[in-house]
Structure 1
């Protein structure tokens, strides 16, 4: 029976999928399989031939292999490796090269014979690349093929650098990179313009010849492409779908990457469900969208025809279910994000008392506050709450170099205009120009340049917060140490980050904390900043009574929105409030028009914010709620 249920649950999936709670557990499992394979081959006196991948996905796998080598005696002697790909052109000692990546993350820490390591050569003249690729294929075939190939998956569906349009029988070759792939790599290269347009990659056909293939994917931002690869039709537009043709492949996912699969996203379509309130709310909202009807117009036939007959039988009549969910959604809407004084708050997202709350908005970057919840920020101030904002990082890596020179020129001219000596400032400016003229992609800026970039972001943040109505005393700049590396790759969170946050919280003793819950942020800063806040509140909760009365609300920003069924507070904005929010975002001039790290969305941040807020309001309208110009959405986090 259990086997039958599993087959039913996975009937939309066209290849084997194993899901782990998180990427750490999944990485350990993959590393264990690699270690088992190596030991088995060594016991038989045979070499192990591994196909290896780069990028964020396999880093924890490699870390566990290093641990197994150092602590459990796993030897890599006799192991032969072939890497999937390399940028072209690319020097092997460049920070962005996959030679550097593999050495730093694996090879320099184990006993592998580096003469048995093979990585595509990004330094060859282009007319020699084709011959190199043929030789790469020949070497793999001469060894009897790859025993195990590990893969990640790009958001275009590429495996290796086999971009959309790749043929299923393709071999190792030089390819042109997709624009989205280059966008995703832009942070590593200090801007998309520095990302190579080409790469050398193993082909889909090369990968197919491996006796075992493991594709790994972590995080919710990979969920859409994972669903296409696992459940979609085979298509050259999504090269990973070719893996459906292999008998030797397995997808290893964490729960977030698997969340878009039918058995997790809409489980009522594949099996019976436990209809708790969360599942019921999600299903009814989904059904409303699927059939194009407001909640209160859904019928028993709609339920029966869309996999929800079990819900109708167990908790019907359906009209009563509709009324229940309609009321739950309606009760998330509030024009009083700090609570409405003197009102019945039993059906409201926030408490009525105290009438004047101390609220703090934590902003990972200096503009996340106004981009993500600018309307709510302004509303809280307008309604008389004691609102604070804390800018957790300086954001100093996200400023163009020419802006630094422009501000320095202004400072020199100003000092000259008031009769002050400009010689020292001029010397610093001259040094900056020399450095910038020869600066390499992702090279760490000088301390003076980093300072000016930080000052630019700081003055913009102050301007935005003042526009929202905050006094200067309520504007806090934390400059958390983990961020201040001068590099796009940041340090790990340290004790000082948590202590600084605890001290600020102790000073304000808020009843409300607003924090970024947008963990799809491509820069990775949001999740780090959230974990720091969470650690600070968790510690303080053990000793400080005020923490027990402090609610934490998560917002999302330029990258994504909460699904409607998850939203617990929706703050409607009038057209005038949308305009005020836009003007607050405009204060961040260095991020306007063309930010340094825009992600894969070409729209300006204010346009993204307005479109997202409008879409949230439209989603509510389609469910049968009142029609608003825009809405900002929040989810309560219980710590």
Structure 2
């Protein structure tokens, strides 16, 4: 395993890695490599044998191959494909089938011969699987072996469905899926309980035989597992680490997926750095955390012994660096998230003027506002600001069917108690109940059911906002059209989504906008809602003067938290304010105990929020600052 030619800056990396600015560029690069292989093989009148992957990661690669076929004449008549895996049991026409996935994202759009497509058969009798898998392996060998194998990586470190515990010489076989893998797939199946527990997969040994292996990884969700795969010791606990044994592998990542690699996360450990203010802050906080010493107690020796000698030499001494970073952290703490009136604001995160601000809190789902910034929300109201909240989506996919029946039953009884006719409502109820009893996983709800689910989330949001102190006229329900598909996979954003957002911004003309910068949510709604806000504000900034004085603050909490070096405003909460925030979250009863989409965090939302806020406060304290009960953290978005 010769890796001696790696650059010094990548010496922590045990296999070749190419990093591109984003997944769009990276996907086109990978598609070009595949296209070039197909063309070279075609010139020799040979078949190109491809190992293909499924999931979100390779989709743009396939889109580019389709474009090359339709616009540049790339032919797939000489291509033979073998897919990595398939759920078991699984019918080929099921929505979650990889047969259907490959047809929809690639095969139906190119000129490949149907007899050249091979995907594991999820309809076999279990007794036939062993022989089938041996035949699958033999078929790959008969056509000359895989020229190129595409891979993604799961958060367990699996490649294909080779879960932790897989052997490096394993062949094609039936496997049991890891619980985390099933949780990640739950959105496609309408709940983890509907995800198959098994799958047929190519083995790691089969993958190794490919003459080229390209593992692709996009976004920060994959960053931590990619660091283990690339920099960690080989282990059956992370099957992708076995790729370190191959001479034919290359990882292709976007910047977010590569962000945890040493050369990006702690670059001072591998090379001389251009020491910007932001990098100095990150490095000093890292050093303090590594040594478990408050910032003001760090010494020149600490810097020199932990890879930061260059910083101490060029920007030191340590005392000056410590004071500067400590002050930056101290200045980020404020009990006045709307700015403190009649105070010197030169070292404060928010402006003092105007003393009474219009604050607009955008909440992607009807509970993100109180979960992620409930303490700050209440503080802004208490301090006299004109606070508005805008719920961007109805959240109507995240309500249990049983709640729908319960609420309609209540409505029927209420109408009866007032002497009203309930015939139509009872007919609708029976229609709903019949549908729910026969409902299939991921089946789109009846419109009446979607409406009731939306009403439930709306009533809870109103209760939460009222508890925070808002008047009803300051509570806005946007029901952005992209979300209202009734599916877990939403429609594309349209001009209407942006126009509705612009109209609300023009109506309120806020001095402050708060938006969810919490992009780890499993449904992807947060990033979509955030991008709509950014696009709306960019357009308004071209024509409307008030936007120049409008600051945008990003919040997190439901799914992740900002790293301390990123935080620009930290709002401390007292024990009483933590309790008030909890009570506001409790207004969202449909999300209590067990939400429909919990992600891979089993804690209730209020527990997640409290523990993350407490952890942020504890990190500040460990760095040598005041010891608060909890802190909500914010980062300001810079438009210019």
TM-score range, shorter chain: over 0.9
2:567 aligns to what?
567
Q: Are the aligned partners of 2:617 and 2:627 in contact in 1 as well (CA < 8 Å)? A: yes
2:383 aligns to what?
383
- Secondary structure at the aligned position of 2:413 is classed as helix
Q: Are the aligned partners of 1:392 and 1:477 in contact in 2 as well (CA < 8 Å)? A: yes
- Secondary structure at the aligned position of 2:57 is classed as coil
Shift of 1:154: 0.5
1:50 aligns to what?
50
Q: Are the aligned partners of 2:512 and 2:550 in contact in 1 as well (CA < 8 Å)? A: yes
2:509 aligns to what?
509
1:86 aligns to what?
86
Q: Does 1:451 align with 2:451?
A: yes
1:348 aligns to what?
348
Measured in 1, the distance between the counterparts of 2:7 and 2:338 equals: 48
- Secondary structure at the aligned position of 1:187 is classed as helix
2:136 aligns to what?
136
1:623 aligns to what?
623
Q: Are the aligned partners of 2:298 and 2:322 in contact in 1 as well (CA < 8 Å)? A: yes
Bigger mean CA offset, 245-254 vs 95-104: 95-104
Q: Are the aligned partners of 2:570 and 2:632 in contact in 1 as well (CA < 8 Å)? A: yes
What runs of 5+ residues in structure 1 fail to find an aligned partner?
A: none
1:213 aligns to what?
213
1:333 aligns to what?
333
1:162-201 aligned at under 5 Å gives the runs 162-201=162-201
Measured in 1, the distance between the counterparts of 2:114 and 2:343 equals: 71
1:114-263 aligned at under 5 Å gives the runs 114-263=114-263
Shift of 1:144: 1.4
Q: Does 1:358 align with 2:321?
A: no
Measured in 2, the distance between the counterparts of 1:182 and 1:597 equals: 13
Measured in 1, the distance between the counterparts of 2:638 and 2:40 equals: 47
TM-score, normalised by the number of residues in structure 2: 0.99
Q: Are the aligned partners of 1:269 and 1:307 in contact in 2 as well (CA < 8 Å)? A: yes
What runs of 5+ residues in structure 2 fail to find an aligned partner?
A: none
- Secondary structure at the aligned position of 1:13 is classed as coil
Q: Are the aligned partners of 2:6 and 2:16 in contact in 1 as well (CA < 8 Å)? A: no
> Which consecutive aligned stretches of 4+ in structure 1 deviate over 4 angstroms post-superposition?
3-6
1:414 aligns to what?
414
Measured in 2, the distance between the counterparts of 1:548 and 1:224 equals: 38
Measured in 2, the distance between the counterparts of 1:300 and 1:542 equals: 49
Q: Are the aligned partners of 1:392 and 1:529 in contact in 2 as well (CA < 8 Å)? A: yes
Bigger mean CA offset, 10-19 vs 514-523: 514-523
Q: Per-residue displacement from partner, 1:31-51 (whole Å, max 9, x unpaired)?
A: 111111111111110011111
Q: Are the aligned partners of 2:28 and 2:64 in contact in 1 as well (CA < 8 Å)? A: yes
Count of residue pairs brought into register by the alignment: 637
Shift of 1:5: 11
Q: Per-residue displacement from partner, 1:76-96 (whole Å, max 9, x unpaired)?
A: 112111111111111111111
Q: Are the aligned partners of 1:5 and 1:271 in contact in 2 as well (CA < 8 Å)? A: no
RMSD: 1.0
- Secondary structure at the aligned position of 2:409 is classed as helix
Measured in 2, the distance between the counterparts of 1:207 and 1:5 equals: 24
Measured in 1, the distance between the counterparts of 2:199 and 2:298 equals: 52
Shift of 1:120: 0.8
Q: Are the aligned partners of 2:86 and 2:120 in contact in 1 as well (CA < 8 Å)? A: yes
Q: Does 1:15 align with 2:15?
A: yes
Q: Are the aligned partners of 2:391 and 2:478 in contact in 1 as well (CA < 8 Å)? A: yes
2:394 aligns to what?
394
Measured in 1, the distance between the counterparts of 2:320 and 2:78 equals: 67
Change (3 A) 1:284 1:575: same
Q: Are the aligned partners of 2:54 and 2:101 in contact in 1 as well (CA < 8 Å)? A: yes
Shift of 1:114: 1.5
1:296 aligns to what?
296
Shift of 1:6: 6.5
Shift of 1:100: 1.1
Measured in 1, the distance between the counterparts of 2:443 and 2:263 equals: 45
Change (3 A) 1:4 1:272: farther
Q: Are the aligned partners of 2:38 and 2:78 in contact in 1 as well (CA < 8 Å)? A: no
TM-score, normalised by the number of residues in structure 1: 0.99
1:484 aligns to what?
484
Q: Per-residue displacement from partner, 1:48-74 (whole Å, max 9, x unpaired)?
A: 111111111011111111111111111
Q: Per-residue displacement from partner, 1:560-611 (whole Å, max 9, x unpaired)?
A: 1111000000000000000111111111111111111100011100000001
Measured in 2, the distance between the counterparts of 1:229 and 1:219 equals: 15
Q: Per-residue displacement from partner, 1:311-337 (whole Å, max 9, x unpaired)?
A: 101111110110011001110000000
Q: Per-residue displacement from partner, 1:340-391 (whole Å, max 9, x unpaired)?
A: 0010000000000000000000001111101110100010000000000010
